[in-house]
Amino acid sequence: MNRCLPLLLFAMLAIAGCQREERDTRPQSALGSGKQPTPVTVLTPGGERPSPSDNKAAAFEANAFHLSQGKRLFNWFNCSGCHANGGGGMGPALMDKKWIYGGAIESIHATIRDGRPNGMPSFRDRVPDDQIWELAAFVRSLSGNVPSSAAPGRDDDMMVHPSENRLPNAATLGKSP
């Protein structure tokens, strides 16, 4: 019995280490939209307001499953047609540090959902809301803005840039400020 105890403890520790990331494979709403509009500017006349946040943000942003789903959807919905694999083309680059309409996941979600006036189409009611969150999370991974432990690894396609979990944060490019 005494001899079994350390083994049991070790097994318990090992099993605890295998705690899997939660994967919400059945989104709540098939279609639908986020709750509130997200401002695309930091100017707020009359004094600063608390920045809007959505409780979905955290659930999607650091979640490897959602990030890798976002990567697949990025091709399926032809995001890659305009933004290439992050470098841009018809649409702006997504892997650099510049954000035209805000770089928070809520802003990116709003950009995909509502579109933007200079060419970004609106995917509202075309793409399920949770998939828009997955896309928004993946877009942030292109500029190194998600935990590298959760970002997608290399794929089997032609090498176009280092895999998302190896891309440096675009703002610092890996250098300390």
Partner 1 sequence: MKQVQQVAVKIWGACQRGYKAMARIDGRTKLGMIGWTLLAGFALVAGAVAQPAEPAIRPPAAAAPLDDGQWTMPAKNYASTRYSELAEITEDNVKTLQVAFTFSTGVNKGQEAAPLVVGDTIYIVTPFPNILYALDLARPGAPMKWKFEPNPEPAAQGVACCDVVNRGAAFSNGRIYFNTLDGHTIAVDAATGKPVWNTHIGNINIGETITMAPLIVKGKVLVGNSGGEMGVRGWIKALDAGDGHVMWTAYSTGPDAEVLIGPDFTPHYDMDKGKDLGVTSWPPDAWKIGGGNVWGWISYDPDLDLIFHGTGNPGPWNPDLRPGDNKWTSGIFARDPDTGNAKWFYQWTPHDLHDYDGINEQVLLDMTWQGKPRKVLVRPERNGYVYLLDRTTGEVLSAVPFGPVNSSKGVDLKTGRLIVNPEKETSTGKVVRNICPTASGLKDWQPSAFSPKTGLLYIPHNNLCMDEEGVEVNYIAGTPYVGMNVRMIAGPGGHRGAFTAWDVAAAKPAWILKENFPVWSGAVVTAGNVVFYGTMEGWFKAVSATTGKLLWQFKTSSGIIGQPITYRGPDGHQYVAILSGVGGWAGAIVSGDLDPRDATAALGFANVMKDLKDVTTPGGTLYVFRLP
Binding site for partner 1 (CB under 8 A): 75-78, 81-82, 84-93, 95-96, 98, 115, 117-121, 157-161
Name the minimum Å distance from CB 176 to partner 1. Answer: 20
64-76 and 129-142 helices, crossing angle to 10°? 100
Cβ nearer to partner 1, comparing 18 with 158: 158
Name the minimum Å distance from CB 6 to partner 1. Answer: 50
Name the minimum Å distance from CB 48 to partner 1. Answer: 30
Neighbours of 13 (CB within 10 A): 10
Name the minimum Å distance from CB 63 to partner 1. Answer: 24
Geometric angle at alpha carbon 83, from 36 and 145, rounded to 5°: 60
Looking at the chain, how many residues does it have? 177
129-142 and 105-114 helices, crossing angle to 10°? 120
Cβ nearer to partner 1, comparing 14 with 90: 90
Cβ nearer to partner 1, comparing 96 with 102: 96
Which H/E stretch holds residue 67? helix 64-76
CB 86 within 8 A of CB 93: yes
Residue carrying structure tokens 């680059």: 93
Handedness of CA 29, 74, 83, 148 (dihedral sign): positive
CB 69 within 8 A of CB 149: no
Cβ nearer to partner 1, comparing 62 with 148: 148
Name the minimum Å distance from CB 2 to partner 1. Answer: 57
Cβ nearer to partner 1, comparing 106 with 164: 164
